A and B are shown apart, each in its own frame.
Chain A
Amino acid sequence: MHSNELFLKDVAGFLGGYYAAIAIMNGIAALILWQRKHQPVWAVIWTTFACVMMVLGSLALSGSEATVPSLPESVRNLVNTLSGPVNYTVGTTVLLVGFFVYRKFFVQPMVAWSLFNVALLLMGLSMADQNFALIVMKADNVPIVGLVFLLAFFTWVATKQAVVNDERMLRGEPPIEKVNDEKVLVWPDLVYTELICMIAVTAFLLAWAILLPAPLEEPASSVKTPNPSKAPWYFLGLQEMLVYFDPWYAGVVLPSLVIFGLMALPYIDFNKKGNGYYTIAERKFAYLTFQFGFLELWITLIILGTFLRGPNWNFFGPFEYWSPYKVEVLNNVDLPQMFWIGLFDRPLPLAAADSPWYVQIGTILLREAPGLILVGAYLVLLPPLMAVTIFRRYYAKMGLIRYMVMANLMLLMLSLPLKMILRWTVNLKYIVSIPEISLNF
């Protein structure tokens, strides 16, 4: 408790400034809404909100436990109990799907602005929690907080224009970008925009550099392993995949496939529509596949790996203390064991040590038969099967090679969520496990 008071004294100044910034931001928004957009009701709402933020800010400045606005202990405990890899993944998926399905509702400026404010408020309230602040305010983690807000903002910018364009095109009108296609001179219209951008970025970077010192820990020591040891934040999605796959797949093959898949993208996407303007309706499949890979598999896993994985790579709730003594039960089983021992109640096939090489290999293949057949069916049988069923139209348009590249990239990308689900539901560790050549999948 005592340390909590010291902590609150420490963050009081920051929180005060934080709430004041939200208040000023909403004050400006209210002014614009009132004078330019003639929406007095919303102006009043955001003025009121700004006043509340000012009150919260002054309360936060007190720095005492009784008054600093924070989430109730019970709520924090509830969030901690509810959060885990499964709920986190399912939750973010439901959230993103919800945003997508009801995008017409969510892109309305006032809805988006409300959500933004709720997020900022929750962030401020959470920041009064010592465990939360410790992780989120870690110098190298600050960019990820920025990334999350920037991504939310730009996704909104893009979706808003896509919604408008999709509605226009439904009415037979060209996209809004087409309307605006008169030509202007680059000097002054573009050069000045660039100049202003450069000055803005410089100012922003200077402010960031002055306010937040770059991290510098103890001198390097190859004998003192920190717990947890984490890669730089942009690789933490990959590190999170290590929970489900061995390093050769999660750390080498899948990243290479991400790069290869991105490069292959323009050659796979045969859809001629949606070139040069925001649209979702005209390229739903490409849009959803990309967003699944980027927002769901790349970004949410980075957030999970950075903020919610603590010592021993155990999962910790956002308000949970990162105890190195937390123990998680690991009772994962390989598929061959499930098959031979669990299903047939007999030992794994094992060749005698002195048997000839073909017997040894044959026995390994027999032992791993269920997994090999499954993986084989997934990668070899599924693509042609899909070509004559759900992807028939695609196959006809793409031709064999392009279709096969697309289908295999899709299946390999889906191998991650599939493995996650198998781990969570039946505690599956490896589908194929051949330790003889260090091949576990």
Chain B
Amino acid sequence: MAIGETIRNSQIWKSIFRHPMPLDRRNRIVVMLTNFFLHLHPVSIKKQGIALSFTWCMGGVTFFLFLVETVTGVLLMFYYRPTLEWAYNDILALRDVTSLGILRELHRWGAHAMVITTWLHMYRVFLTGSYKPPREFNWVIGVILLLLTLLLSFTGYLLPWDQLAIWAITVGSNMARATPLLGYEGPGQQLLTIGGLDMITDGSDARFGLLGARFVGEETLNRFYVLHCIAIPLAVALLLAIHFWRVRKDGGISGPL
């Protein structure tokens, strides 16, 4: 006890937490206002707004899974090399040799879980009509986040570089080949010619832009790796910040008027 008291009275502790323990009403309010991580929340909230039967906690779980994916993902990046020579072998070693290779399981199952919890979160938001005014635009941001979540999962799917990976990505990205006007097997691409020269070929169409090559190869692995580890997470982080900010600004968690 005495040690705890000494620590809480030290200059270091007081420089971090500028108020006493949140044990009484006043300090429970102060803690929400002075802590960076807690200030995302309001100070007080309607009781029904935090009832699990109402929120299912799925938005929170999705965000938590995003954090889990970030942490496990960064650790996996220390180990994994996105090249044809090493990609598969590194994953193999994570399974068979490396201690803490379970990070890959956590990352993969966390990713699947994140897709599912995103859907469940949206399902809840729809069923409670929480997308209705004034929260319309936050729903739109949410839909973009859904798309980015699927793209995160899709780009990550390629990285183990096994049969499952490249053929799933091949099947998925073959769709881009059929983009109207912009895919070289898509409707109307025949119309885009200049002086008899096709503008849309298998080396210049939407699929090529996605894969960086005519088929799923090393360029694709590199491209998907960068998208998966940097570009999409950054976009998600930005949109998440807006999403959470808007939840507060649009009147907090929804409820009957």
Q: Contact: B48 with A187, CB < 8 Å?
A: no
The docked-state distance in angstroms from the alpha carbon of A197 to that of B144 is: 25
A183 contacts B45, C-beta separation under 8 Å: yes
**A288 contacts partner chain B, Cβ-Cβ < 8 Å:** no
For B171, the chain A residues whose CB sits under 8 A away are: 229-231, 239
Among the 9-residue stretches B3-11, B115-123, B235-243, the one with 4 or more Cβ atoms under 8 Å from chain A is B115-123
Q: How distant is the Cα of A174 from the Cα of B255 in the complex, in angstroms?
A: 12
Residue on B nearest A238 in the bound complex, by CB: B175
* Distance (whole angstroms) from the CB of B69 to the closest CB of chain A: 11
* Contact across chains for A229 and B170 when beta carbons are under 8 A apart: yes
Nearest chain B CB to A180's CB is how many angstroms away?
4
How many B residues touch A, CB cutoff 8 Å? 101
B51 contacts the other chain (CB 8 A):
yes
Contact bitstring A185-219, B, C-beta under 8 A = 1, else 0? 11111110110011001100110111011111111
> Which A402-441 residues have a C-beta within 8 angstroms of B?
434, 436-440
- Contacts of B104 on A, CB cut-off 8 Å? 214
Q: Is B74 an interface residue, CB under 8 A from the partner?
A: no
B56 touches A294 (CB 8 A): no
Say yes or no for A325: interface residue by CB 8 A criterion: no
Residue contact B163 to A218, C-beta cutoff 8 Å: yes
Range for the number of chain A residues in contact with chain B: 35 or more
Within 8 A of A (CB), among B108-153: 108-110, 112-113, 115-116, 119-120, 122-124, 126-133, 135-136, 139-140, 143-144, 146-147, 150, 153
Q: What residues of A have a CB within 8 angstroms of the CB of B170 in the complex?
A: 229
CA distance A283 to B56 in the complex (A): 21
A190 B45 Cβ-Cβ under 8 A: yes
Residues of A within 8 A of B199 (CB): none
Which of A78-86, A99-107, A269-277, A333-341 contacts the other chain? Answer: A269-277
**Residues A157 and B53 in contact, CB atoms below 8 Å apart:** yes
Query: In the bound complex, how far is the Cα of B118 from the Cα of A234, in angstroms?
Result: 12
The residues of A that contact B105 with a CB separation of less than 8 Å are 208-210, 212-214
B124 touches A154 (CB 8 A): yes
A3 close to chain B: CB less than 8 A: no
Contact between B161 and A219, CB atoms less than 8 A apart:
yes
B209 at the interface (CB under 8 A from A): no
CB distance from A19 to the nearest CB of B (A): 24
Determine the chain B residues whose CB is within 8 A of the CB of A212 once the complex forms.
Answer: 105, 109
Chain B residues with CB under 8 A of A243: none
Binds B, one of A127-135, A244-252, A352-360: A244-252
Asked whether any CB of chain A lies closer than 8 Å to the CB of B29, the reply is yes
Instruction: Report chain B residues within 8 Å CB of A274.
Output: 128-129, 132
Q: How many A-B Cβ pairs are below 8 Å? A: 276
Q: Which of the residues A220, A248, A277 comes within 8 Å of B128, measured between beta carbons?
A: A277
Pair A187/B185 contact, Cβ less than 8 Å: no
Contacts of A265 in B (CB 8 A): 126, 131, 139
Which of A194, A224, A235, A246 is the one whose CB lies under 8 Å from B172? A235
The residue that A252 contacts in the complex, of B61, B122, B132, B176, with Cβ under 8 A, is B176
Given A178-B256, A186-B45, A279-B129, A247–B60 Cβ distance below 8 Å?
A: no
A265-B123 Cα distance, complex, nearest whole Å:
13
| Residues of the A chain whose Cβ atoms lie less than 8 Å from the Cβ of B115 | 143, 234
Q: How far is it, in angstroms, between the C-alpha of A438 and the C-alpha of B183 when the chains are bound?
A: 11
Shortest C-beta distance, A258 to chain B (Å), equals 9
Q: Complex: how many Å from CA A188 to CA B205?
A: 55
B50 close to A193 (CB less than 8 A): yes
| Contact bitstring B187-204, A, C-beta under 8 A = 1, else 0 | 111110000000000000
Asked whether any CB of chain B lies closer than 8 Å to the CB of A262, the reply is: yes
A216 touches B256 (CB 8 A): no
Do residues B127 and A205 form an inter-chain contact, with CB atoms below 8 A? no
User: A92 to B186, alpha carbons, bound, how many Å?
Assistant: 33
In whole angstroms, how far apart are the Cα atoms of A49 and B213 in the complex? 58
B165 in contact (CB, < 8 A): yes
Q: Which residues of chain A have C-beta atoms less than 8 A from B124's C-beta?
A: 154, 158
Give the residue name and chain of the A residue nearest to B122 (CB).
Answer: A262
| A263, CB-defined interface residue at 8 Å | yes
> What chain B residues lie within 8 Å of A278 (beta carbons)?
54, 127-128
A-B contacts besides A143-B112, A191-B41, A437-B190, 8 pairs, CB < 8 Å? A161-B53, A174-B256, A193-B50, A197-B57, A219-B88, A220-B165, A259-B143, A266-B140
A selection of 20 A-B contacts at a CB cut-off of 8 Å is A143-B112, A176-B48, A183-B46, A184-B46, A186-B43, A188-B22, A193-B52, A208-B105, A210-B102, A212-B105, A217-B164, A221-B163, A232-B172, A252-B183, A262-B143, A274-B129, A274-B132, A275-B129, A276-B256, A277-B256
**Chain A contact residues, CB within 8 Å of chain B:** 140, 143, 146-147, 150-151, 154, 157-158, 161-162, 174-191, 193-194, 197-198, 201-202, 205-206, 208-210, 212-222, 224-226, 229-232, 234-235, 238-239, 246-248, 250-253, 259, 262-263, 265-267, 269, 271-279, 283, 287, 290, 294, 434, 436-440
Closest 9 interchain pairs by CB? A251-B175, A247-B178, A209-B105, A266-B136, A439-B187, A180-B48, A276-B254, A143-B112, A274-B129
